[in-house]
Amino acid sequence: MTTKLLKILLLISFIIFIAAYFKKDGFPNKADILDDIYTPPLQTKVHMDDFDVEVEDMVYTIQPLYTYELFGMVVSQHYCGTWWDVYHHDLWKDFINIKDLCVVWGENIETEVYKDMEFSSNSWTCNYRWPNAGVKSRFCKTCLSNNHILSESKGINSKLTDTEIGDQIYLKGYLAQYSHSNNAFTRGTSTTRTDTGNGACETIYIEDYEILKRANPLWRTLYKLSKYTILICLLLMLIIFVFSKSDPS
């Protein structure tokens, strides 16, 4: 009887897991967007001395160029420490670039064009595509940015790790160039939203970061719960199987 109940629970959990997997990263409707997300990024040129920060025994020199504030909705993201990213940690020894966040704001929120597009991120770019010319005509290229996020703060890094697609976020810091190992590795930054191609991404050393509103909290909770339930059911079924085989009766 116990095994039968576990099988039923496993089946239900698996169905919920599959449904939640496809729902948890859905984009919010326009009605759920905060007013601040319509605001374009704010930047002001600064004249500051370079400063050093240490992460993973590497010393990075940060050269601030502009103060920068950004409200946006995350449409794609890339964690720079993922196992298949051979560039950041392995080749570049870049441990301060925690995550890349591709965000939209303003006109792209107003038209809800983001709901009709596909977005994806790789080790250094954000890619997007539209299904037809009608959607393309609604898309505002200057209301999207791919942001290389630099941080050595454990508190900020934790929030970055918790950020998911569809979340509405706020960050504040500096558009900055940075380097390490006596300039053996250097990376610049875009300072305008109108450029394209190589070098068009914003590199931001952040001092403040907040998730203003999470997307799909119910589906994300169901995804986590169903995943753990599946693992527990499989473990219990394995234990029951092993004990049943070892029982001489």
Percent of the chain topping pLDDT 90 = 85
> 245 pLDDT band (50/70/90 cuts)?
confident
Residue 241 vs residue 213, higher pLDDT: 213
Question: Distances in Å between the alpha carbon of 110 and those of 3, 37, 106, 160?
Answer: 52, 10, 6, 26
- CB environment 88-125: b (16+ within 10 A), e (fewer): bbeebbbbbbbbbbbbbbbbbbebebbebbebebeebb
Q: What is the mean pLDDT of residues 36-62?
A: 96
Say if CB 108 and CB 114 are below 8 A apart: yes
Q: Hey, what amino acid is at 24?
A: K
Global pTM? 0.90
pLDDT(14) > 80: yes
| Sheet strands (E) in the chain | 42-45, 51-55, 58-79, 97-104, 118-121, 126-129, 144-150, 168-180, 185-187, 202-213
Question: Which residue is it, tokens 């504040």?
Answer: 172
**pLDDT, tens only, 98-155:** 999 999 999 999 999 999 999 999 998 999 999 999 999 999 999 999 999 999 999 9
According to the model, what pLDDT value does residue 182 have? 73
**pLDDT, tens only, 181-230:** 877 899 999 999 999 888 899 999 999 999 999 999 999 999 999 999 99
> 170 pLDDT band (50/70/90 cuts)?
very high
